[in-house]
Amino acid sequence: MAKVHIVNVVVLDNPSQFFNPFQFEITFECVEDLQEDLEWKIIYVGSAESENYDQILDTVYVGPVPEGKHMFVFQADPPDQKKIPVGDAVGVTVVLLTCGYKGQEFVRVGYYVNNSYTDSELQENPPEVPQFEKLQRNILGTQPRVTKFKIDWDDARDTENIPPAENSTNGNTNTSSSQAQADSKPVPMLENSNSACAMEVA
């Protein structure tokens, strides 16, 4: 049984300019104290054609995590535009919010992202070289795609990972985690929250 349940994710500052940070307000519930930290990641999918263009925007470790409901805001810098294929800069892509425990990803929340020009002239005649400073990012925050994976938690008899069994609440994302590297940083334990559950994903 999963020991952590994401109960609500709110996309903040949306829509926003392309170079503004991503911000997610995450509420989750832990059914018992965890021995180790939770590892959260924000991944930007640079191209639907290959995961080689995925970018890990940030990684944070949250803990220690006691039993109860908690909330924190996860903020990450925008993707490096130089690593995005020219043909994929404008249009629809995906941003992933993942959480893992002991190196095992157990939940992934994917959101469709639409990058578009707000200027009517650029909309009608888009430049060959994308002008990222004029792009607006719009995350479809009300339509998440949730995928869950079975993992070994603290009470497992051995350390062998259980092969992931995908169960999608709202559908599956079409991308996998990036192989890119990103700096990680610890996050101090968040404060308890009594906010209402808006999305049950585990």
pLDDT at res. 98: 98
Q: What is the CATH number of the domain that holds 103?
A: 2.60.40.1490
* Residue 32 covered by a domain: yes
> C-alpha dihedral over 136, 141, 142, 146, to 10 degrees?
140
Separation of alpha carbons 152 and 102, rounded Å:
9
The model's pLDDT over 93-145, given as tens digits with 9 standing for 90+, comes to 999 999 999 999 999 999 999 999 999 999 999 999 999 999 999 999 988 99
Predicted confidence at residue 65, as pLDDT, reads 93
Count of domains observed in the chain: 1
Phi/psi of residue 14, nearest 5 degrees? -140, 130
DSSP for 107-149, please give it.
EEEEEEEEEEESSHHHHHS--SS--GGGEEEEE-TTS-EEEE-
* Parts of the chain with a pLDDT under 70: 155-202
pLDDT score recorded for residue 151: 95
Asked if the structure places residue 17 within a domain, the reply is: yes
In a domain? residue 38: yes
Q: Which domain holds residue 29?
A: 4-192
